[in-house]
Structure 1
Amino acid sequence: MSRTRLYRHGVLEAEGFPVADVSDHVADPSCAVWFDLCSPSPEELAVISEELGLHKLAVEDVLHDRQRPKLDVYDSHLFLTVYGERLDADTGQLASTEINIFVTRTALVTVRANDAFDIGEVTRRWDASRDLAKHGVGFLLHGLLDVVVDGHFEVIQALDDQIEALESDLFDGQPSRHLQRHTFALRKSLVAFRRGALPMREVVNSLLRRDLHVVEPAMAPYYQDVYDHVLRVAEWADSLRDLVSNIRETHLAQQGYRLNDIMKKLTGWAAIIAVPTMITGFYGQNVPYPGSEQPIGFWTSAIIIVAASLGLYLAFRKRDWL
């Protein structure tokens, strides 16, 4: 299902019209046309490519999934790849939607890999900034990138909250297996998020170049604001990566400490048990000894066992081994 919009002289003139009618407006310099495609077929892309004169390499990139976020410059248009991100709060799993964008002087084409990305939020963002619509395609592209980067902000905030909860679990005695699984899931999501968010610095920074003639001087502060948000997301992601690594190392150190503590206790009890074994072994010799076969021998061995075991126990307790 495709969505379309037509702006003429900065005013929304039509929306929801067939994609086939786009060719009637793209040649008009007073128009700015947007249409969105979700999981289009190669045949549909071929028709659009012919209508707008899109480069075949850019069309091939659309057909191949998992492109790196980038900005390619061609003679007649720009081609961008960005990712809309969404985090599952329950599982900590990251869901990404690849968004390919063609930018010409009078048209903006978005091609989404799936419908997980809320394209309706983009149109609402445009409607909330109608006074900027006079800047044409630059206005449309800014609204789209702003929504994408805001989504990155929401994801990084959710990751920060979950990692903070993970820190609390680390020192609250949560089950080790649960902690390991959660740490691994968050680390995996963070790595995938950084792969899609960090290259946005190059994408937005390249759009600010004046030789591309995409961003008008009046729109430059808005793009700069998006770029600042991209930098904040990138720095935040780097700090969270270090934090997750520290949590993992701390967890391993805690496990080592617990193991050492267990080994100390086992060694202490083994030493205590060894004393009665040694004494009863001595008194079990098949030779005469003082008190042999007499009650005094039994009481002597029993007193020695109790005294030695109690002495070792108190000594180990004093050193916090038991």
Structure 2
Amino acid sequence: MTHVRGRIWRHGEPQDDFDFSAISDCLSGDDTLVWCDIYDPDHAILEDLADELHLNSWAVEDALAESERTKAVVYRTHTFFTVYAVTMTEPAAQEEPSSLLEVHRISGFVLPRGLITVRLSPHVDIDEVSRRFDELGGQEYGVGSLVHGLLDVVVDGHFAAVQALDDAIEGLEDDLFADETPTKGLQRKTFQLRKDLVALRRVVLPMREVVSAIQHRRLDAKTAPELDAVYADLYDHVLRASEWTESLRDMVTTVFETNLSLQDARLNVVMKKLTGWAAIIAVPTAITGYYGQNVEYPGIQTVTGFITSTALIVVMVVILYVAFKRRDWL
């Protein structure tokens, strides 16, 4: 079911008379600013809106498509963009690791005096977008500040996701050298984190082009330069999130490779110890096997022969044990 909400400002003052059916009339006013948010849109409703506002038909199709990449496309009368907000999920109680991320697509049509956002997911804090807009003084700077408020919330979500994955990788590093951690569980966690990082990277890296395209789109030549500083700061945050994501990718790869190296090292230690004990056990086996021959030899069926064989076993075992222990083979 389609849900529509919005805000309208006239002469820099918020109004309470937002009417979706009259949105084209609102956008035609010189001192009017409109924000319309549409959740779970019906195709027919969005098509009618596109015809009314002269939106690009391909952009409308992209706004409704299930799978679209992060992008920004500049048209003659408006700019269309698609970004992905990221929210964190609670870790699963079961042993099987699950994804820590949920991505939610947001599409937007940036008009000279308004912004229309289209969402397919309810898990986006639209109230926070509105609050950021008011903090920036959007009534003074126009639609550019409203777009900035939306992108700022999205990028902050990216930062929170990167931080959560960073903490998860640090936990992996701690488990890596813990003797009681099951190797199988550690491998599964590592692979799941790698999948989460790949998913996050797909939505974070293209944000640079989105912010840059919107920043340099002069929809209002009078007020747009005033927003250059905040957009430059937003672009810097996007770069930091991208670089952080790349560094985490290297970290999780290092954890995976280190885990394999540790498994090889532990296997070598086990084999070394088994080889040492096998050499020690071979001594009494060889001596008792020699005295078990069915031939005549000195000391056969005598106490002296038993004492001699036992002494040889003890002496050789002690010598081998001490020698292997000094070389850290046991």
TM category, shorter: over 0.9
1:195 alignment partner in structure 2? 202
- In the TM superposition, what are the counterparts of 1:117-156 in structure 2 within 5 Å? 117-129=124-136, 131-156=137-162
**Is there any run of 5+ residues in structure 1 with no aligned partner, and where?**
none
Letter matched to residue 41 of structure 1? D
Instruction: Please state how far the C-alpha of 1:181 moved relative to its aligned partner.
Output: 1.9
| Cα shift readout 1:265-299 (whole Å, capped 9, x = no counterpart) | 11111111111111111111111111112221111
| Cα shift readout 1:82-104 (whole Å, capped 9, x = no counterpart) | 01001225255210000011111
Letter matched to residue 253 of structure 1? S
2:26 alignment partner in structure 1? 25
Letter matched to residue 32 of structure 1? L
Letter matched to residue 193 of structure 1? L
Matched positions, count: 320
3-state secondary structure, aligned to 1:313: helix
3-state secondary structure, aligned to 2:171: helix
Structure-2-length-normalised TM-score: 0.92
2:316 equivalent to 1:304: no
2:176 alignment partner in structure 1? 170
Which of 264, 267, 275 is matched with 2:275 structurally? 267
CA distance in 2, matches of 1:142, 1:220: 11
**8 Å CA contact 1:166, 1:183 repeated in 2:** yes
Instruction: Please state how far the C-alpha of 1:132 moved relative to its aligned partner.
Output: 3.4
- In the TM superposition, what are the counterparts of 1:147-296 in structure 2 within 5 Å? 147-173=153-179, 174-209=181-216, 216-296=224-304
**8 Å CA contact 1:89, 1:158 repeated in 2:** no
Instruction: Please state how far the C-alpha of 1:316 moved relative to its aligned partner.
Output: 1.1
1:116 alignment partner in structure 2? 123
Identity %: 50
Instruction: Please state how far the C-alpha of 1:139 moved relative to its aligned partner.
Output: 1.4
Structure-1-length-normalised TM-score: 0.94
**8 Å CA contact 1:197, 1:234 repeated in 2:** yes
Letter matched to residue 205 of structure 1? S
CA distance in 2, matches of 1:109, 1:128: 20
**Is there any run of 5+ residues in structure 2 with no aligned partner, and where?**
93-98
